[in-house]
A = this chain, B = another copy of it.
Amino acid sequence: MTRNPQSPENLFLQSAFCAQGVESLQSFLEWFEAFKVKSRFEVFRRGLGDLDGWRFTEGTGNLVHRSGRFFSIEGLDVTTNFGRVRHWMQPIINQPEVGILGFLTQRIQGSLHFLIQAKMEPGNVNGLQVSPTVQATHSNYTKAHGGKQVPYLEWFLGGHRGRYLVDQLQSEQGARFLAKRNRNVIVQVRDNEPIEVLDGFFWLTLGQLFALLKMDNIVNMDSRTVLSCIRFAGADNGLPEATIDAGGGFAANVHVSSCIAEKSCLHTFDALISWLTRMKTTYSLEVKRVPLNQVEEWSFDGNVIRHESGRFFTVMGVEVHIDNREVAAWHQPLIESAKGGMICFLCQKKNGVMHFLVQARVEPGNFDCLEMAPTIQLTPSNYDPDRPDTLPPFSSLLLDSSAATVRYNALQSEEGGRFYHDQNRYLVLELGPELDLPLPDNYIWMTIRQMKEFIRFNNYFNIEARGLLSCLAPAALPAQV
């Protein structure tokens, strides 16, 4: 028997097992396709010098909006003792606002449902993706009572009508954003509270969201980061082991065994904190904001801002027409990263419990020098093909995965409001028990429960790691929709 079926952990677990919500997944997919067809969505490339409302600031060359709002593209001078390259300069997105990424949830027919929004973003490779109920910047919600209201926003502005199941500050891409964070929120509405489902919104269970996470580019980055904050009840929380179909799939096993067998963890939690403390004192990161026009090796070619090697990323401009948004047409810069990125956790059974290989990783926009990251974050085209020795550790396992069993494999998109057609291959590879990997100092094994414990606190796991973890369902999923 569960100790408290209404605890957030139990509500989430029960919803994860719920493969059929108030509507079937098939109905959702049909609705989603129909919504895409009826929504006008056009994006044209435009030179950065020709973006309405945007200009290069005199003196600094920083790219800013005339209102001073949204975000700006500035320069960063980076010095670190981490990795092969110890000093460089680069453009960076400066958006010193804490936005809200929030799911409204409600128990419907006994199972927690998430109110998702079908949302167009200009950078999305496929236009429409599943987003949280609310994606609101601080500008959005401070002018909340003037102009067009962001739907459902009132549930996330405090007050005491809803129950906060998750409410955490979480980081965004440290390689692209300067110390950006968002508030990740899941609010539960009382069972009997009437919630109107507006056009473009749909109720899904966690089980259905996990099914969508097995597909390419359906569930957007903002949804994934919020979902990564969820912690599931385990056997130690009163859920009987027998009710979990531990034979039902890799991910289910990972969650269940991790919950049951804390004593089988390779490292105690205090030992992990000690390792992280050592990493934070070993590695240094010094960043200085510099004018964009003083960023060495980068230049504006009359159209985009690019690195002289053609690698890494460019800053490009777009003209956007989207029907179902507050503003129907606008111009903005987007970041276009080199294609072919791969984000991978290696995992392996230790003491009978699945452990994940976590990397302590310095990225220039990190709030606190380093965050924990997936085993491998790799875009091969950023490296010299004649120098495979310069690739990050374990890359060879990724490029030839015959030694491993593929446990998760899908293309997932990064935030389409800032990144243009940015999709990465998200992978979980399980190594056979016989393989004994030698670990560089900045790698350590931990269980999914240990990772989830760190995620409760600010700025411990980066968004790439969280986005990948969010894809691992605690329950056996139906074989097909």
Whether the Cβ atoms of B456 and A273 lie closer than 8 Å is: yes
CB distance from A289 to the nearest CB of B (A): 11
Chain B residues near A164 (CB, 8 Å)? Answer: 270-271, 274
Chain A interface (Cβ < 8 Å from any Cβ of B): 8, 98, 158, 164-169, 183, 270-271, 273-274, 277-278, 280-281, 367-368, 456-460
CB distance from A30 to the nearest CB of B (A): 36
Number of copies: 2
Whether the Cβ atoms of A458 and B278 lie closer than 8 Å is: no
Whether the Cβ atoms of A278 and B367 lie closer than 8 Å is: no
Could you show 21 A-B contacts with beta carbons less than 8 Å apart?
Answer: A8-B270, A98-B280, A98-B281, A158-B278, A164-B271, A165-B270, A166-B270, A167-B270, A167-B277, A167-B278, A168-B274, A168-B277, A169-B280, A183-B277, A183-B281, A270-B456, A273-B456, A273-B457, A280-B458, A368-B458, A368-B459
Q: Report Cα–Cα, A166/B457, bound state, in Å.
A: 19
Chain B residues near A368 (CB, 8 Å)? Answer: 367-368, 458-459
Nearest 8 CB-CB pairs, A to B? A167-B274, A164-B274, A457-B457, A98-B281, A167-B277, A169-B277, A183-B281, A168-B277
Q: Report Cα–Cα, A158/B155, bound state, in Å.
A: 48
Across the interface, name the chain B residue whose C-beta is closest to A167.
B274
CB distance from A308 to the nearest CB of B (A): 32
CB distance from A167 to the nearest CB of B (A): 3
Whether the Cβ atoms of B281 and A169 lie closer than 8 Å is: yes
Among A183, A274, A277, A460, residue most surrounded by chain B Cβ atoms (within 10 Å): A277
Across the interface, name the chain B residue whose C-beta is closest to A280.
B169
Q: Report Cα–Cα, A22/B44, bound state, in Å.
A: 79
Q: Report Cα–Cα, A167/B458, bound state, in Å.
A: 19
Chain B residues near A459 (CB, 8 Å)? Answer: 368
Q: Report Cα–Cα, A280/B183, bound state, in Å.
A: 10
Q: Report Cα–Cα, A368/B8, bound state, in Å.
A: 28
Q: Report Cα–Cα, A167/B277, bound state, in Å.
A: 7
Chain B residues near A166 (CB, 8 Å)? Answer: 270
Q: Report Cα–Cα, A457/B273, bound state, in Å.
A: 8
Chain B residues near A367 (CB, 8 Å)? Answer: 368
Q: Report Cα–Cα, A165/B167, bound state, in Å.
A: 31
